[in-house]
Structure 1
Amino acid sequence: MSERLARRLGTLDATTIGLGSMLGAGVFVAFAPAAAAAGSGLLVALVIAAFVAYCNASSSARLAAAYPESGGTYVYGRERLGPWWGFTAGWGFVTGKTASCAAMALTFGAYVAPGYEKPVAVAAVLALAAVNYRGITRTAALTRILLAVVLAVLVTVVVIGIPRATWQPITWDGTGILQAAGLLFFAFAGYARIATLGEEVRDPQRTIPRAILAALAIAVAVYLVVGVTTLGVLGASQLAQSSAPLAQITPLARIGAVAGSLGALLALIAGVGRTAMAMARNRDLPPFLSAVHPRFSVPHKAEVTMAVFVCGLILAFDVRGAIGFSSFGVLVYYAITNASAFTMKRSCAPVAGLAGCVALVAFLPLSSVLIGLAVFAVGWATRAITR
């Protein structure tokens, strides 16, 4: 068994990391593809995505309190449903969140250096991987600073935007709304980072559930206010075509996008590395990824490896393609979360969460679904051969 990680995070730190993940690139970029799918119905889509996220968060909180280890649903699926289910969840998280990292980095590049997004994004990934390498307390401290900048900028966007907003009737294209909800779910999935850090949280049975639900509640409120403002100022058609919609309300949004995408990317790299470490401990990924740095107490080999893969995705995809693929992998992950929680307590929330995940997957863009299925097939085949 590999060396264990150190418990250094309290409730505030865990909540900050989760909230920093949710108020990252999502709030600055996810409204555009959602508007392209649903028009002004994106507000309905946002409520649907938030409801599914709440059900998933409830299941995650219950499971994380029972299994306070690194790895999140990879661990829960193994314990409650069996090794193959755990592997599927872990593979979905690692691949989906690696795509999320690419989306965050590309958003950073689009706001900082339009036309040079990809090299700037690669540089950001390498720099933040170096921060994570130095230890989880440094990750939490930098996330607090970046989150404060993001919240200040979003308040400014709303204050400037609300007087200019004109309200449009909501369109009710059911297919478009469900597709938009699947894409917007990408923005709410940051609370998983809290569960994946379960081995590094103090008093995890109490801290993790509180941090997950607090981070999600704050994020939903912020997304609703910003979504209403952005749609009211730009309108659905202009919003759908924009690569930096909040910057069209105020140039200060570029500062918030930079801070938000960096904060989310920082937390994502930490979460993916720890899930990869948990999978490597059980030889579902190469065992060398389970190594823990003797001084900094981080899964350093897993984090470096994930950073390399993220750089490859940045060079291969654009931000919208990365969001679609990320949503597929993460929705599969949370479907298994809800199924695992149902085996502990047969309540309505896991059933609703599972049904919501399945429905949102079904309405994602076909290209995202096909790429996601191919990636899962590679993972399953590799595990079958190596085991």
Structure 2
Amino acid sequence: MSASVPRKIGPVLATFVVANNMIGSGFFLLPATLAKSGGVTALSWLLGTVLAMMLGGAFARLARHHPDLESQDDYVRPSLGRDASFLATTMYWVSSWIGNNAIAVAAFGYLVILLPIEDSTGVRLAGQVALIWLMFALNLMGPRPIARFQSMCVVLGLLPVAAILTAGWAYFDPEVYRTAWNVSGTSDTAVVLQSLAPIFWAFVGLETGAMVAGVVDDPDRNVPRATLGGIAIAGVVYLTSSVLMMGIVPASQLAQSSAPFAMVAGEMFGPWAVPVIAAAAALKATGTLGGWMLVSGESGARAAQRGFLPAVFGHLRPNGSARNGLCIIALSMTLLAFLTLSPTVSGQFEILIEMVVVLVVVAYAAAGLSLLLGTPGRTPTRRERMLGMGALLACGLLVYSTPVQTLVGGLVFAGLAWAAYRGFGRR
């Protein structure tokens, strides 16, 4: 009797896998961050979705040439060499655990509503650190418990929020939205471009369709469909929720909130809805944190196995957990929580997500260059060159929208990391 072949996932399920990887903490906290600029950021959502589509198309094409793709090293090194592969792989890894801090900020911003404690800077810091180490402990149990926990959080976390997105239009006030169209004091064009970096945080994860191409049925056709379809779903959900919330609660109030969805629920249904939505949002964000900590541990292990990180990150326990590497990651996240502490939740969240975007752009730009240049054994087609140029154009706009201080910090960090690798890296 022949060995059974594992069933692969079809285009619909693959599409929702990609969409779910993007609909995370940004869904629950970005409305507060963007409210400081106003409803004009709806145009930023549209532009951000287009840029994500351009990058998604590049990754979908790379998946055709690298069907067993599991790390940036797999597509960067054949085209750009080992040094570029080191930068793309490690900057993506660093961005993943910095992003975990942003998720912890969002999760505790909602959780604090449910607890009998004061919402102060010190309390939020302690809560974020506690969530980090709680998810570290859960990750020590291995990938399977994390996957189950994340699946439960997705179902229980998004159902109440879906009710708001459906019923909320009955409470939408066009005048409230028009009044808050642009409260930044700068031109609409400037706001749209400046908002791209924080908005693109919501689309980090668009590459996961290419990363799981090996388990997708007929990947040549279905990976592009899943990637672009998942991005489209995420873009519609984000745009809809952002417009809806700014038409229910004045932008000045929304910008100060640590839990904007809960605030909107209170305006719609009354005080009883606030803890319900806060619990749902905290649960979904906590599940996202657990899942992305798993990604941080796994991507760190793969980077170590390729000689890009110290060997300690590559050690896996029998149950598959990267205990030693995750412990170092959790310690680094704890330090970062102290360094990025801000008077408001949305302020700290914005600092963190801008750091993530400037680092993850390195991996995205490497994907574009890999398509544009091809490999010694493969000349890129005209379509691949166009996809590569599109990806680089998207990366250029994201870099342009990043604050200079954050951009310089990212470049200095990447330069120091590369120098350390050249001087002390394992070959």
Q: Does 1:354 align with 2:384?
A: no
Taking the aligned partners of 2:392 and 2:307, their CA distance within structure 1 comes to 28
Q: Could you tell me whether the CA contact under 8 Å between 1:99 and 1:326 is conserved in 2?
A: yes
Equivalent residue, structure 1, for 2:31: 31
- 1:242 CA drift (Å): 2.9
For residues 81-230 of structure 1, what are the structure 2 equivalents within 5 Å?
Answer: 81-113=80-112, 114-115=119-120, 116-167=123-174, 168-169=177-178, 170-171=181-182, 173-193=188-208, 195=210, 201=215, 205=219, 209=224, 211-230=226-245
Distance 1:142 1:345, change over 3 A: farther
Distance 1:135 1:203, change over 3 A: farther
Taking the aligned partners of 1:126 and 1:241, their CA distance within structure 2 comes to 27
Equivalent residue, structure 2, for 1:72: 71
Larger mean CA deviation between 173-182 and 285-294 belongs to 285-294
Q: Does 1:338 align with 2:368?
A: yes
Taking the aligned partners of 2:238 and 2:86, their CA distance within structure 1 comes to 32
TM-score, normalization by structure 2: 0.79
- 1:213 CA drift (Å): 3.8
What SS does structure 2 have at the residue aligned with 1:191? coil
Q: Bigger radius of gyration, 1 or 2? A: 2
For residues 282-361 of structure 1, what are the structure 2 equivalents within 5 Å?
Answer: 282-294=306-318, 296-317=319-340, 318-342=348-372, 343=374, 344-347=380-383, 348-361=386-399
What SS does structure 2 have at the residue aligned with 1:233? coil
- 1:42 CA drift (Å): 0.7
Amino acid of the structure 2 residue aligned with 1:223: Y
Taking the aligned partners of 2:144 and 2:225, their CA distance within structure 1 comes to 19
Taking the aligned partners of 1:212 and 1:378, their CA distance within structure 2 comes to 33
Q: Could you tell me whether the CA contact under 8 Å between 2:371 and 2:387 is conserved in 1?
A: no
Distance 1:203 1:132, change over 3 A: farther
Taking the aligned partners of 2:223 and 2:298, their CA distance within structure 1 comes to 16
Larger mean CA deviation between 365-374 and 207-216 belongs to 207-216
Q: Could you tell me whether the CA contact under 8 Å between 2:22 and 2:202 is conserved in 1?
A: yes
Equivalent residue, structure 1, for 2:43: 44
Q: Could you tell me whether the CA contact under 8 Å between 2:19 and 2:234 is conserved in 1?
A: yes
Determine which of 275, 278, 296 is the counterpart of 1:254.
278
What SS does structure 2 have at the residue aligned with 1:174? helix
Q: Does 1:367 align with 2:405?
A: yes
Q: For 1:297-355, what per-residue CA distance to the aligned partner results, in whole angstroms no more than 9, with x for missing partners?
A: 34443333322322222232132211111121122221222222333444333322221
Q: For 1:353-375, what per-residue CA distance to the aligned partner results, in whole angstroms no more than 9, with x for missing partners?
A: 22121112112122321322222
Q: For 1:252-303, what per-residue CA distance to the aligned partner results, in whole angstroms no more than 9, with x for missing partners?
A: 3312321221122122112222222222122111023222333x23444333
Taking the aligned partners of 2:21 and 2:137, their CA distance within structure 1 comes to 18
Equivalent residue, structure 2, for 1:239: 254
Q: Could you tell me whether the CA contact under 8 Å between 1:32 and 1:240 is conserved in 2?
A: yes
Equivalent residue, structure 2, for 1:4: none
What SS does structure 1 have at the residue aligned with 2:39? helix
Amino acid of the structure 2 residue aligned with 1:181: L
Taking the aligned partners of 1:162 and 1:92, their CA distance within structure 2 comes to 41
Q: Could you tell me whether the CA contact under 8 Å between 1:23 and 1:219 is conserved in 2?
A: yes
Distance 1:180 1:369, change over 3 A: same
The CA RMSD measured in Å over matched residues stands at 2.8
Q: Could you tell me whether the CA contact under 8 Å between 2:48 and 2:200 is conserved in 1?
A: yes
Distance 1:211 1:264, change over 3 A: farther
Count of matched residue pairs: 378
- 1:27 CA drift (Å): 0.6
What SS does structure 2 have at the residue aligned with 1:375? helix
Q: For 1:107-161, what per-residue CA distance to the aligned partner results, in whole angstroms no more than 9, with x for missing partners?
A: 1111112332222222222222333333333333222221122321221222343
- 1:377 CA drift (Å): 2.0
Distance 1:217 1:302, change over 3 A: farther
Taking the aligned partners of 2:57 and 2:287, their CA distance within structure 1 comes to 24
Gaps spanning 5+ residues in structure 2: where?
Answer: 1-5, 113-118, 266-273, 341-347, 375-379
Amino acid of the structure 2 residue aligned with 1:94: W
Q: Could you tell me whether the CA contact under 8 Å between 1:197 and 1:271 is conserved in 2?
A: no
Taking the aligned partners of 1:44 and 1:223, their CA distance within structure 2 comes to 12
Taking the aligned partners of 2:229 and 2:154, their CA distance within structure 1 comes to 15
Percentage of identical aligned residues: 24
- 1:57 CA drift (Å): 1.6
Taking the aligned partners of 1:214 and 1:82, their CA distance within structure 2 comes to 32
Taking the aligned partners of 1:26 and 1:345, their CA distance within structure 2 comes to 36
Equivalent residue, structure 2, for 1:276: 300
Distance 1:125 1:138, change over 3 A: same
Q: For 1:53-82, what per-residue CA distance to the aligned partner results, in whole angstroms no more than 9, with x for missing partners?
A: 111122222323433456532332122221
What SS does structure 2 have at the residue aligned with 1:40? coil
Amino acid of the structure 2 residue aligned with 1:188: F
Q: Could you tell me whether the CA contact under 8 Å between 2:198 and 2:354 is conserved in 1?
A: yes
TM-score, normalization by structure 1: 0.87
